[in-house]
Amino acid sequence: MTGPGPGVGPYVVLVGSMGAGKTTVGGLLASDLGLSFADTDQLIEAKAGKPVAEIFVDDGEDHFRALERATVAEALEAHRGILALGGGAVLDPATRELLAGRRVVFLQVGLSDAASRVGLGVSRPLLLGNVRGRIKQLLDERTPLYASVARWTVPTDGREAAEVAAEVRALVDDGDHD
């Protein structure tokens, strides 16, 4: 497997809900392939100089989504490695359009695994209150969007991150020969 050429964007884009393992799997995949890894939430935090949770509280979700839209667009153009998108990035129609034709993998997680991986969600502003109920609502709302932008879907429930990363690599390798 070789990385992308100039001007083609990320080698692989990972989408999925919080708790799906995008950051962990993405880091493993990047390391395995000798590519760089970027997470759009981390890029947003670096730009804003504060955590995503503080952006939500201080500036509101609309401001965060505007930052997210711009950051995702930049990363899709400039990043050449593995890119993990924040869970809500696919809510934006322009972002979904930018993902068309790219190597997008949907890391699918069920409610039970997502809830146990996220924990009490103290650093996740969309999980205030009933964490499990809110995760279910987000999964119900966003799963069709993740599926609509993805070329491949990889279930993560009950699996180790290394196993998921290996499956993603195998799918992308096979897809390169289609």
What stretch of H or E contains 104? strand 104-108
| Tokens 């401001």, residue located | 63
Between CA 75 and CA 1 the distance in angstroms is: 21
Query: Which residue type does 50 have?
Result: K
Backbone phi and psi for residue 24, each to the nearest 5 degrees, phi listed first? -65, -50
Between CA 28 and CA 165 the distance in angstroms is: 6
For every one of its 178 residues, what pLDDT tens digit does the chain have, with 9 covering 90 and above? 444 444 468 999 999 998 889 999 999 999 999 999 999 999 999 999 999 888 988 999 899 999 999 999 999 999 999 999 999 999 999 999 999 999 999 999 987 787 776 654 445 554 555 667 777 888 889 999 999 999 999 999 999 999 999 999 999 988 765 5
What the chain holds in terms of domains, given with CATH numbers, is: 12-172 (3.40.50.300)
Structure tokens at 65: 């989504």
Between CA 133 and CA 27 the distance in angstroms is: 29
Residue-level pLDDT at 119: 59
